Structure formats: structure tokens, C-alpha cells
Amino acid sequence: MSLRALGLLPILTFGQPYDVLIRGARVVDGTGAPWFRADVAIAGERIAAVGRLDGAHARQVVEARGLVLAPGFIDAHSHALAGLRRHPDAENLIRQGVTTVLEGQDGSSPLPLKPALEEMDRLRPAVNIGLFAGQGSIRRQVLGTEMRAPSADEMERMKALLREAMLDGAFGLSTGLFYVPGNYATTEEVVELARVAAALGGMHISHMRDETTGVVASVAETIRIGEEGGLPTQVTHHKIIGKANWGRSRETLKLIEEARKRGVDVTLDAYPYTASSTGTAALFPQWAWAGGAAALAERLAAPESRAKIRAEIVRRILEDRGGGDPANVVLASCGFDASLAGQSLADVARARGLKPTAENAADIAIEIQKKGGCSAVYHAISEEDVDRVLAYRWTMVASDGGVMAPGEGAPHPRSYGTFARVLGRYVRERGLLALEEAVWKMTGLPAQRLGLWERGLIRPGMQADLVLLDPAKVRDRATFDNPHQYAEGVEAVWVNGVQTMAGAQLTGRRGGRALRGPAAQR
């Protein structure tokens, strides 16, 4: 086999100018191998050459001067779709070096998928975007929010919806077994759907049924879905919630390692923060939502059922997502009252002249939910579990964030800082990860996992998704108190060969596109 066939020679001759020539970079190529010094050339949308290119010519020459050149970062768990419609430049992502996001997470996705993907093709956002098909959305379309098993006919209709989504371009099946209505499905029901995705080359990614007291059983369920469904399976945004459960990442990672040893294709992803974020509905028992918001309102109007719901909210504040204190539940965005953003349930209680007890916080949560609910940040995770999960060999980095712009509520800082935080805090400052390993967790590993065979590595012929950064300066600036701060240290970004950032400033050019999964029919 020739060197050219192996991809070790330029695909253009030196007589033909490249579009871009990046000289003297420290190349961290996405494989996890040690960095090496090289020039990298771009022609059109693709990487054209890697190596000593002393005689090469290009329309644009970028002097890297020892900066790190890596593949563009791939966010395997994102909620970017709605934000891209408002802010297609995706500045909070580009400034971290993110060039590809995967949406349709936690069991929730557009249905059908095809119009959403075509919309992204027309929009041509700054980042590439792919979609999973959401099991919760599929179930809702067939059964609504009924808390029961599907009939045989209903099961076939759900399978048909998933099959259609896979042919439209889904990368697989996402489940949100914590959320309604996905929570009402048995493991067996999910396995039946997983087999449909498996037959079409897809994977399964799951917000598990429980990340608190039942976290070990939930990891086992996620593994079982992959094992019996016959497809790769992923524990997404893996975390351990609630002080009483801290340290149980030892048990969950042991389960994952044992499953891999017996041949189950299971991996995970995580973000580098000690707080999670979801709606205030997460404080309510799932059974209370059966039948939808109107049914919940009826239950809250009945004294007996209201008392049961309130008791469960109190328990979740004390033992679960509340981390034992209403001050740990901070409202991020409330459509009915923007002034609540940034206030904790304890703050709201005090403002009303009430003691910040779990009981008073539960009453406030009920009131909030009656008005439509809010998104919230929950501080209930230990740094030790974050470290252990991030350091695990088969963990990739993912934000669980979206596309944000300054002034939009008080969101979790993960949308602004996840990837930069890993490189700044966990690589440079703490040495938990080597630079090459961290980049692999952001590039080569998720690309392989998702079947993005033309992305995630710096090799001739690959799509030119690239990020040039200063490893001594890259850092997150977003905090829980002041989340709307862009990351620093990324100097340049290319997406499909289009330079989206130059000199640490956005260029106004966008090179992203909709990506489609293994069974897509166009």
C-alpha cells in the first residue's frame, strides 16, 4: 500500500496553493497520542496535508507559533437546537472550540426529524448539528402522558416512528427515563425500541431513570438496554446526586467496566461541575404528572394528593436534588417572572417573610409549577465524584448545555465553559488529565462513538473542523453567580474549512451544517 493511500502524504501538490496553511502548530490530533510539531493545510472543506510543508503555498497563512491545534470539539450531549435558531453564530460554543453538537437528548426531540434537519441546512449555523430520536417524544405522540403499558398496536406505532426518524437521519435513540412520559416505560419497552435503532446502525444514549438513591440500578438498566437491544449504549451526563449517595461513582464505574469486559459496548459522558440543571418539575413525583399539567393541577387541588406531592418535594429538597437545603435550588429562567432568575428557593422564601425551610420551599415550588415552572440549577454533586467520572478511561466530555447569549436568565455556566474548564482546570491546573487525553475525550472518542468518521481527528482527507488554542491561557470564566461570560484562550476555529474565529474574534462566517446518522435517506 502506498504512503498516499495511508493518508501520510498531501492530497494536493505543492504547485497548487492551499486555502489555509497553519504553520508550526503543536498538533494534538485527537487519538490520545503525544502531540507533535507540524504544519496543517486546508483545501476547501478538508484537511489536505499534515507534516513539514516548507515549500507549500496558501491563500492564507496562519503562524501558530507553538499554539495547540486540535480537532474541533464534539459535544455529544447538547440542547443547542432552539438557541441556534436565535443565535446561529453560537458564540458561547465557538469560543470554547466546539464545532459539532448532538441534540435530541433526554428522550426529547422533534418529530419528524427531517424538517428540523432541513431547517439547519438552510440556516447553516456556526456549528454542525446532529439529532437523536427521543423515546419520550415518540411515546408522547402515541400514548400522550398516560401512565400505562402500550398495546401491541401502540408498540408497533412507536417502532414505526423511530424507524422513520432513523431514516430521516437520527444517530440513534435517546431516552430520558427520569422524565415524563419516558419514565412510564418499562425497561422491556425501551429494549424493543432499541432493537429498531440497532437494526439501522444507531446507538442509545440515556438520561437515566435515577441519578440519586437508585443510581446503581439505573446504570445497570442502561447497560441492559444496550446488551439486550444489541447496540452501543451510553450513560449521559453521569453524576451522583445527593450527599447520601456521594462516592457511589465507584460502584457505577465498576458496573460499566465489568460490562465492557463481557462485551457490552457501553461508554459515558460528563460535565465538570458540581451542580446539575433541569426544570422545577424534577422536584415533583413522576406519578403526579400522569395525564399532563391539567391532571397535576387537579391533584394539587385535592388535599390528600397535594399532601403526598408536597411530601415528596420536601424529600427531594432534603435528600435528592436539593442537596439538603433550599438554597441549593437556584432558579435559572422563569417565563412568567424574569426577576426570579438567580434567586434560590430560600431567597424567595425570605423575600416573602418566610423561613427558608424545605416545607416552605416545597410550597413555593408548587406555586411556581402552577405558573408554568422554571428551569433551575441544583447544587448537590461532590467534586470527588466529578473527578472520578471525568478521569475514567471511557468518559467523553459533554456539556448538557445550549446556545446562550448574555442577558438570557441565569443559566448553568456549563453552556459557556465546559470544554474550556476541562482544559484549564482539570488539565493545566490540577493535572487530572493529560492534554492529549482530554482532547481525545472531546474529539476522537465521541467521533468514533457517533460514527462521525470524517471528524474528530487531524488527518489528510478529514473535514477541516479545527481549533487553535493557547494551552497556557485557555480557561472558563462563567460562574454560577455570573454565568454569561465567554471562555478565553481559543484563538481560531474552522468549521468545514470556514474560519469562524480569527484572532480570538468571530469572523461572521458560518460553516456548520446538519449531520445525519447511519441510516439516513436523502
Q: Does residue 60 lie in a domain region?
A: no
Q: Are residues 154 and 270 in the same domain?
A: yes
Q: Determine the residue type at 198.
A: A
Residues 315 and 264 placed together within one structural domain of the fold: no
- Tell whether the model's pLDDT for residue 1 goes beyond 90: no
What local confidence, expressed as pLDDT, does residue 496 receive? 98
CB count within 10 Å of CB 382 equals 19
Rounded to an integer, the average pLDDT of 406-425 is 96
322 and 426 within one domain: no
Quick one: 90 and 198 in the same domain? yes
Of 433, 452, 471, which marks where a domain is finished? 452
Does any domain span residue 324?
A: yes
Question: What is the average pLDDT across 101-108?
Answer: 98
Summarised one tens digit per residue, pLDDT across range 331-390 is 999 999 999 999 999 999 999 999 999 999 999 999 999 999 999 999 999 999 999 999
Who's near 269: CB < 8 A, 6+ residues apart?
76, 77, 234, 235, 236, 237, 238, 395, 396, 397, 398, 446
Say how far apart CA 94 and CA 494 lie, in whole Å: 9
pLDDT of residue 16: 65
Tell me, yes or no, whether 494 lies in a domain. Answer: no
Domain ends where: 379, 413, 436? 379
| Model pLDDT, residue 255 | 98
319 has a pLDDT exceeding 50: yes
- Count: domains in the chain: 2
Structure confidence by residue, pLDDT tens digits, 59-78: 999 999 989 999 999 999 99
What SS3 string covers 211-277? CCCCHHHHHHHHHHHHHHHCCCEEECCCCCCCHHHCCCHHHHHHHHHHHHHCCCCEEEEECCCCEEE
Residue 359 placed within a domain = yes
Given a cut of 50, is residue 201 above it in pLDDT? Answer: yes
Same domain, 295 and 361: yes
Give alpha helix (H) positions in 371-434.
Answer: 383-391, 414-421
Query: Are 167 and 76 in a shared domain?
Result: yes
Q: Are residues 108 and 131 in the same domain?
A: yes
Q: Is the pLDDT of residue 163 over 80?
A: yes
The reported pLDDT for the residue numbered 211 is 98
Q: Residue 510's closest CA among 59, 93, 30?
A: 93
Give the residue carrying C-alpha cell 464545532: 99
Quote the domain boundaries for residue 321: 279-379
Q: Determine whether 13 is exposed, middle or buried from the number of CB atoms within 10 Å of its CB (0-12, 13-18, 19+).
A: exposed
Q: Please say if the pLDDT value at position 305 is more than 70.
A: yes
249 & 167 share domain:
yes
Beta-sheet pairing, 266-270 with 329-334 = unpaired
Q: pLDDT digit string (tens) for 33-51?
A: 999 999 999 999 999 999 9
Q: What is the pLDDT of residues 16-27, one digit of tens each?
A: 689 999 999 999
The three grid cell numbers given for residue 78, joined into one nine-digit string = 447538547
- Give domain status of residue 474, yes or no: no
Average pLDDT over residues 278-306: 96
pLDDT exceeds 70 at position 106: yes
Question: What is the reported pLDDT for 10?
Answer: 45
- Same domain, yes or no, for 272 and 365? no
Give the chain's mean pLDDT.
96
Are residues 294 and 365 located together in one domain of the fold?
A: yes
154 falls within a domain: yes
User: Are residues 158 and 234 located together in one domain of the fold?
Assistant: yes
Query: Residue 392 is placed in which grid cell?
Result: 475514567
Residue 404 falls within a domain, yes or no? yes
CA distances from 325 to 223, 320, 322, 367 (A): 33, 10, 6, 19
Give the whole-number percent of the chain exceeding pLDDT 90: 96
Band (pLDDT 50/70/90 cuts) for residue 6 is: very low
Strands (E), 28-78: 36-43, 46-51, 58-63, 68-71, 73-75
The reported pLDDT for the residue numbered 17 is 87
Asked if residue 467 is part of any domain, the answer here is no
Helices (H), 352-486: 358-370, 383-391, 414-421, 435-442, 444-450
Prediction pTM value: 0.95
Grade residue 15 by pLDDT with cuts at 50, 70 and 90: low
pLDDT higher than 80, residue 475:
yes
Please report, for the domain that includes residue 197, its CATH number: 3.20.20.140
Task: Kindly state whether residues 314 and 269 are assigned to the same domain.
Answer: no
Residue 13 confidence class, pLDDT cut points 50, 70, 90: very low
